[in-house]
């Protein structure tokens, strides 16, 4: 216990996030936590454990599976939910396509856009009035304007010009039937904070965050993992490299970075010295300057 | 493992008129403190080639949304994060346009420090007075007047001192800031932002970043009087651990003071008195906790306590009343008139409330109150009387920002229409059953 009565940056962020999570539990009828197994949602889950202990986390976990997830990630997701005794709901883009809820554009390989209708259908199915996610404002410019409690209309749309003012720690959580709230307890966390918290809390993360051998091809200045979904094109050189992921999208749009970092300490040192942002390795954000803003307006996470 | 040094977070906001160079200043802070990454620089250079005639425009770092790129003004509050080895910073970039008072209130409500930008050519403007006034109303402890564009006044010390004198002339009227600093800068060229200026040897104070890194913020929280609004009642259903069968904890974020095991406490509004048995903090069970930690309290007696109640120390009681006086920042296009009803959210309690009277509207440029206005319009600040359906347990905003603040929500639309700051209670809570001790 600190004798000087002051919180360091991680303790401050932790207290703030726990406050937000408890506000969700107290003010919503049917909230859920979006849990992908990625590093941000791992922190989110630990914060939820702390917010409600010794009670169990009083809301189910939801994951939208694109079918293009890294297998390591899904394995981790399922195991972590079992360990916590939490209810895990998985809805797949595959199934949404089969049911006509999500319609792929001809030739479109990425399932990123198709997560949106799949998520909105799940929200409708379970009548969720709040979805808690691990998004952070430092990830991307459009996220920088997001509130902790981000209102979505009955189409799941975000209206950046008409957001509720958010003052002090007083959150307006009220929604009408059919509307819902996206809640981001990690709003003020940076990538470095997330890893420092993983270190402080000794949290397990999926193995793909650590350095491993993998076959990759070079595309648009990035190392992409070779998989059945992303086979090498004729004439493309396949290299076996020591790589890891810095941020996880689905397997066809996540660039690998060459890295020898095989411990959390190494990763922290690497990020502290990094000269590229986390999302620099996400092909889906690069396509246009306003890519994230467009997806968010439509109801993306 | 080596324990990393303890690093604090400083939250600040920037305010200035449209062309005072706020975004450029933040861009400069990030750029010179090496907090911009290569891909961000690439993006900047791409847009420089497109729109800036090849010159990197540091303002593009923060002007995030496409709509505001088009208009060339920041339309909402954007948050930025950067770090130096000494501190982490959360920046609320709040717009300076006259109609966006509500955004500045939003960005400033959680700030330890405000940077008010002043254009060295223009000197003190109505906007400067407005921003100072809002920062004062919001009880921000530290303020920095950054006199920008010094390059355009030939780095003139005389000009700087003139502006400083003009500001110092009106500050006493606001009577709010514990700590005021004046720094001459050029955000465009980087002078005195991160690196000392070679052009202004007459200035001997710290650079802006140096000041942000060293300003003393440890005492910005109120640690004097225990205030614990109950946020969520923690009762494990069907616990596997038999010891938890009777567990009943009260979760919340400490809004003031320090709480210790064994300490006598009072539950308001009921007035029950009991003692603290256990304190669950994020780090485990501890003998004490302090504001602003999120904790769970277990009390000696099994009392019927619910969300919205407040647990307080037995001395220095808060006010408890259904009739309060408050300053409001009105944030909605539909004006406020006396008699309108709202939901009022204060700490963890949401109650019905009616605005019974408008006392005055504050002219935030002259700081003069104008009595008995017919209405408060969008971006107006004024003093009102409010009657609530249940008593508020509160402190004056000046002594506690968390128990002295509230929002008004419009029923139906659920819009947040006002941010409120309570005047101090005229008397401490009077308990109906002062001898009611379990």
| pLDDT tens digits, B78-89 | 888 888 888 999
Residue B438, pLDDT > 50, answer no
Average pLDDT over residues A182-197: 96
Burial of B250 (0-12, 13-18, 19+ CB in 10 A): buried
Residue B26, pLDDT > 90, answer no
Lowest mean per-residue pLDDT among A118-127, A273-282, B122-131: A273-282
Domain positions in chain A: 9-201+290-298, 207-285
Q: Do the beta carbons of residue A222 and residue A257 sit within 8 Å?
A: no
Higher pLDDT, A163 or A207: A207
Q: What is d(CA B84, CA B35) in angstroms, rounded to the nearest whole number?
A: 9
Lowest mean per-residue pLDDT among A64-68, A283-287, B113-117, B181-185: A283-287
Tell me what pLDDT residue B1 has: 41
Q: Residue A5: which of B290, B294, B346 has the nearest Cβ?
A: B290
Domain positions in chain B: 8-214, 227-313, 319-422
Residue A1, pLDDT > 50, answer no
Q: Do the beta carbons of residue A238 and residue A217 sit within 8 Å?
A: yes
Nearest CA in chain A to B224: A5
Measure B164 CA to nearest chain A CA, in Å: 30
Higher pLDDT, A299 or B8: B8
Lowest mean per-residue pLDDT among A42-51, A195-204, B127-136: B127-136
Lowest mean per-residue pLDDT among A133-137, A279-283, B257-261: A279-283
Tell me what pLDDT residue B74 has: 46
DSSP secondary structure code for residue B429 in this structure: P
- For A236-289, give the DSSP string: PPPEEEEEEESS---TTTBPEEE----SHHHHHHHHHH--S-GGGGBHHHHS-T
Tell me what pLDDT residue B59 has: 65
Q: What is d(CA A100, CA A3) in angstroms, rounded to the nearest whole number?
A: 60
Tell me what pLDDT residue B47 has: 62
Query: Residue B333: helix, strand or coil by DSSP?
Result: coil
Q: Residue A275: which of B6, B37, B65 has the nearest Cβ?
A: B37
Tell me what pLDDT residue A70 has: 86
CB contact under 8 A, A145 and B286: no
Higher pLDDT, A145 or A297: A145
Beta-sheet pairing, A239-245 with A256-258:
antiparallel
Sign, CA dihedral B220-B224-B225-B230, equals: positive
Would an 8 Å CB–CB cutoff place B288 in contact with chain A?
yes
Tell me what pLDDT residue A143 has: 79
Strand partners for A172:
none
B residues 30-59 near A, CB within 8 Å?
37-40, 43, 47
Same fold, B8-214 and B227-313: no
CB contact under 8 A, B66 and A175: no
Average pLDDT over residues B304-308: 96
Residue B70, pLDDT > 70, answer no
Chain A positions in Cβ-Cβ contact with residue B94 (cut-off 8 Å):
none
User: To the nearest whole number, what is the mean pLDDT of chain A?
Assistant: 88
Tell me what pLDDT residue B44 has: 66
b or e along B201-214 (b: 16 or more beta carbons within 10 Å of the residue's beta carbon)?
A: eebeebbbbbbbbe
Chain B positions in Cβ-Cβ contact with residue A51 (cut-off 8 Å):
251, 294
Q: Do the beta carbons of residue A133 and residue A38 sit within 8 Å?
A: no
CB contact under 8 A, A290 and B66: yes
Backbone phi, psi, residue A191, to 5°: -55, -40
CB contact under 8 A, A170 and B103: no
- What is the Cα B412 distance to its own chain's centre? 27
Q: Which helix (H) or strand (E) holds B179?
A: strand B179-184
Which top CATH class is B8-214?
alpha beta
Would an 8 Å CB–CB cutoff place B244 in contact with chain A?
yes
CB contact under 8 A, B282 and A14: yes
Share of chain B above pLDDT 90, in %: 64
CB contact under 8 A, A170 and B345: yes
Tell me what pLDDT residue B381 has: 93
Would an 8 Å CB–CB cutoff place B252 in contact with chain A?
yes
CB contact under 8 A, B9 and A13: yes
Interval A13-65: pLDDT, tens: 999 999 999 999 999 999 999 999 999 999 999 999 999 999 999 999 999 99
Q: Do the beta carbons of residue B300 and residue B334 sit within 8 Å?
A: no
CB contact under 8 A, A265 and B1: yes
pLDDT band, residue A293 (cuts 50/70/90): low
Interval B372-387: pLDDT, tens: 999 999 989 999 999 9
Question: What CATH architecture does domain A9-201+290-298 belong to?
Answer: 3-Layer(aba) Sandwich (3.40)
User: What Cα–Cα distance (Å) separates residue B397 from each residue in A47, A106, B109, B400?
Assistant: 30, 58, 11, 5
Q: Residue A26: which of B103, B232, B331 has the nearest Cβ?
A: B232
Tell me what pLDDT residue A272 has: 81
pLDDT band, residue B72 (cuts 50/70/90): very low
CB contact under 8 A, A1 and B343: no
CB contact under 8 A, B231 and A22: yes
Would an 8 Å CB–CB cutoff place B103 in contact with chain A?
yes
Domain B227-313 has CATH 3.40.50.720: no
Residue B437, pLDDT > 50, answer no
The CATH superfamily holding the domain B319-422 is Translation factors (2.40.30.10)
Lowest mean per-residue pLDDT among A104-108, A188-192, B68-72, B401-405: B68-72
Residue closest to B331 by CA, chosen among B377, B363, B374? B377
Q: Do the beta carbons of residue A35 and residue A77 sit within 8 Å?
A: yes
Measure B363 CA to nearest chain A CA, in Å: 22
A/B interface, count of CB pairs below 8 Å: 176
CB contact under 8 A, B88 and A174: no
Chain B positions in Cβ-Cβ contact with residue A158 (cut-off 8 Å):
none
CB contact under 8 A, A167 and B47: no
Would an 8 Å CB–CB cutoff place B223 in contact with chain A?
yes
Nearest CA in chain A to B308: A26
Lowest mean per-residue pLDDT among B186-195, B211-220, B228-237, B392-401: B211-220
Tell me what pLDDT residue B270 has: 93
CB contact under 8 A, B280 and A275: no
Interval A80-124: pLDDT, tens: 999 999 999 999 999 999 999 999 888 777 788 899 999 999 999
Would an 8 Å CB–CB cutoff place B348 in contact with chain A?
yes
Q: Residue B80: which of A4, A9, A144 has the nearest Cβ?
A: A144
Tell me what pLDDT residue B73 has: 44
């Amino acid at each position: 216990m600190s004798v000087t009565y002051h919180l360091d940056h991680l303790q401050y962020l932790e207290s703030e996030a726990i406050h937000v999570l408890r506000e969700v539990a107290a003010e919503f009828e049917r909230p859920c936590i979006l849990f992908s197994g990625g590093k941000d949602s791992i922190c989110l889950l630990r914060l939820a454990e702390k917010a409600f202990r010794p009670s169990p986390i009083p809301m189910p976990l939801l994951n939208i599976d694109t079918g293009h997830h890294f297998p390591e990630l899904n394995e981790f997701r399922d195991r972590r939910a079992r360990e916590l005794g939490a209810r895990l709901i998985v809805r797949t883009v595959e199934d949404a396509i089969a049911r006509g809820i999500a319609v792929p554009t001809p030739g479109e390989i990425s399932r990123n856009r198709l997560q949106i209708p799949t998520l909105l259908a799940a929200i409708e199915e379970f009548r969720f009035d709040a979805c808690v996610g691990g998004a952070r404002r430092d990830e991307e410019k459009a996220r920088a304007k997001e509130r902790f409690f981000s209102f979505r209309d009955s189409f799941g749309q975000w209206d950046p010009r008409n957001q509720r003012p958010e003052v002090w720690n007083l959150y307006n959580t009220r929604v009408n039937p059919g509307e819902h709230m996206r809640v981001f307890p990690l709003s003020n966390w940076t990538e470095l904070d997330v890893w420092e918290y993983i270190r402080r809390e000794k949290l397990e993360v999926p193995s793909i965050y650590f350095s491993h051998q993998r076959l990759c091809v070079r595309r648009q200045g990035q190392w992409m993992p070779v998989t059945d979904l992303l086979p090498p094109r004729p004439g493309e050189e396949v290299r076996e490299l020591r790589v890891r992921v810095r941020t996880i999208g689905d397997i066809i749009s996540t660039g690998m970075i060459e890295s020898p970092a095989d411990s959390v300490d190494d990763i922290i040192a690497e990020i502290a010295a990094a000269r590229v942002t986390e999302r620099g390795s996400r092909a889906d954000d690069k396509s246009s300057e306003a890519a994230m803003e467009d997806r968010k307006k439509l109801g993306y996470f | 493992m080596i324990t990393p040094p303890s690093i604090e977070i400083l939250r600040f906001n920037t305010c200035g008129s449209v062309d005072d160079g706020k975004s450029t200043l933040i861009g400069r802070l990030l750029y010179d403190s090496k907090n911009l990454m290569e891909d961000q620089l690439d993006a900047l250079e791409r847009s420089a080639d497109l729109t800036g005639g090849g010159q990197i425009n540091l303002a593009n770092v923060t002007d995030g949304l496409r709509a505001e790129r088009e208009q060339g003004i920041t339309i909402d509050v954007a948050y930025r994060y950067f770090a130096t080895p000494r501190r982490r910073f959360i920046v609320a970039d709040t717009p300076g346009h006259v109609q966006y008072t509500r955004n500045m209130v939003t960005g400033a409500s959680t700030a330890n420090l405000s940077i008010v930008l002043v254009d060295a050519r223009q000197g003190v403007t109505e906007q400067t007075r407005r921003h100072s006034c809002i920062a004062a109303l919001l009880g921000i402890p530290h303020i920095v007047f950054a006199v920008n564009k010094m390059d355009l006044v030939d780095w003139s010390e005389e000009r700087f001192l003139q502006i400083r004198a003009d500001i110092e002339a009106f500050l006493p009227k606001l009577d709010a800031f514990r700590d005021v600093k004046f720094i001459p800068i050029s955000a465009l060229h980087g002078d005195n932002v991160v690196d000392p200026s070679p052009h202004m040897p007459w200035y001997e104070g710290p650079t802006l970043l140096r000041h942000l890194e060293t300003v003393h913020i440890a005492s910005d929280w109120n640690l004097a009087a225990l205030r614990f609004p109950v946020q969520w009642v923690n009762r494990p259903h069907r616990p596997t651990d038999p010891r938890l069968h009777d567990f009943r904890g009260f979760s919340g974020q400490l809004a003031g003071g320090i709480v210790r095991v064994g300490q006598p406490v009072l539950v308001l509004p009921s007035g029950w008195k009991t003692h603290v048995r256990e304190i669950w903090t994020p780090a485990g069970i501890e003998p004490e906790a302090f504001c602003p930690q999120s904790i769970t309290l277990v009390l000696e007696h099994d009392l019927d306590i619910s969300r919205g109640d407040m647990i307080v120390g037995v001395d220095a009681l808060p006010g408890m009343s259904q009739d309060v006086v408050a300053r409001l920042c009105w944030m909605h296009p539909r004006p406020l008139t006396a008699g309108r009803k709202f939901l009022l959210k204060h700490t963890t309690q949401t109650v019905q409330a009616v605005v019974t009277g408008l006392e005055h509207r504050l002219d935030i440029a002259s700081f003069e109150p104008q009595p008995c206005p017919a209405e408060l319009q969008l971006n107006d600040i004024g003093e009102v009387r409010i009657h609530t359906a249940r008593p508020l347990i509160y402190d004056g905003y000046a002594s506690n920002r968390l128990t002295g603040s509230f929002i008004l929500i419009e029923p139906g639309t659920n819009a947040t229409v006002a941010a409120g700051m309570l005047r101090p209670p005229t008397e401490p809570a009077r308990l109906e059953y002062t001898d009611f001790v379990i």
